[in-house]
Amino acid sequence: MEDNYLIQINDIGRRYVIGAEEIHALKSVTLNIKKGEFVALMGPSGSGKSTLMNILGCLDTPSKGEYILNGINVSDMSEDELAEVRNKEIGFVFQTFNLLPKSTAMENVALPLIYAGLSKKAREERALQALENVGLGNRVDHKPNELSGGQRQRVAVARALINTPSIILADEPTGNLDTKTSIEIMGLMEDIHARGNTIILVTHEEDIAQHAHRIVRMRDGLIEDDYPNPDVKSVLPRLNALREKGTDFENI
């Protein structure tokens, strides 16, 4: 594996057998992603992008081909081995937030650290810092139903970053948010990328994909197009303009 490649997938395929029918969700996908890239993964329903996302996130294994993640061949790992890789290497941000409803923001953010074996004090210190980094240092004791949609997504982002993972895998992170809140979350994604993190953004929204530096389009289980984005759009000018108008992002 080349030193600057974080992800190498070679001739990946994924088939499912449903009754007498065999479905090839991925036919043959080869994709390399370098450390520090910001990639948007796009495609219509049935294109295979969700299946590829699940494989990239070690939530599923391929039927054929090889997946090298940060120097580790994860293609044929067991469920327990994949769970360990997910905890160490991948931070997930989902459209539906996936927060524990009866746990506080701090407890939700600290959850991956329990599996990492850290003491309660160490977990709380790191979780507090992570929440402060996303502007929620004053919401640590709030439960999800006491937070807005934007605040819940920021908790999810803090949780994704808590183990300093190799990849942030964001699945439609603005899908349940209004325009103003989406601007704030994409600004946060830009900031995370600027710090050197690798981001794979799964989206069907063209305007959201335009924030990525590279766009990979899928169709019928294959990569249809893969190109650098020459016109990267930043939300930061709009974000700063809203802040100058006095928009209170603490409450969105």
In a domain, 130, yes or no: yes
Reduced to 3 states (helix: H, G, I; strand: E, B; else coil), residue 15 is: strand
Looking at residue 83, the DSSP 8-state letter turns out to be H
pLDDT in tens, 124-165: 999 999 999 898 999 999 999 999 999 999 999 999 999 989
User: What pLDDT is stored for residue 124 in this prediction?
Assistant: 93
Instruction: Round to whole Å and give the CA distance between 115 and 122.
Output: 13
In a domain, 71, yes or no: no
Among 30-34, 93-97, 238-242, whose mean pLDDT is lowest? 238-242
In a domain, 68, yes or no: no
In a domain, 113, yes or no: yes
E strand map for 154-248 = 167-171, 198-202, 214-219, 222-228
Examine the pLDDT at 107 and tell me if it is beyond 80: yes
Confidence at 114, pLDDT banded by 50, 70, 90: confident
In a domain, 20, yes or no: no
Residue 148: CB atoms within 10 A of its CB come to: 15
In a domain, 16, yes or no: no
Domains identified in the chain, total number: 1
In a domain, 157, yes or no: yes
- Do 159 and 129 touch, CB atoms closer than 8 A? no
User: What pLDDT is stored for residue 96 in this prediction?
Assistant: 87
Residue 206, CA distances (Å) to 44, 187, 217, 238 in order:
12, 16, 11, 18
In this prediction, residues 195-220 reach a mean pLDDT of 93
Q: Looking at residue 171, which CATH number applies to its domain?
A: 3.40.50.300
Task: Give percent above pLDDT 70 in the chain.
Answer: 92
In a domain, 137, yes or no: yes
Range of the structural domain that residue 218 is part of:
36-61+78-251
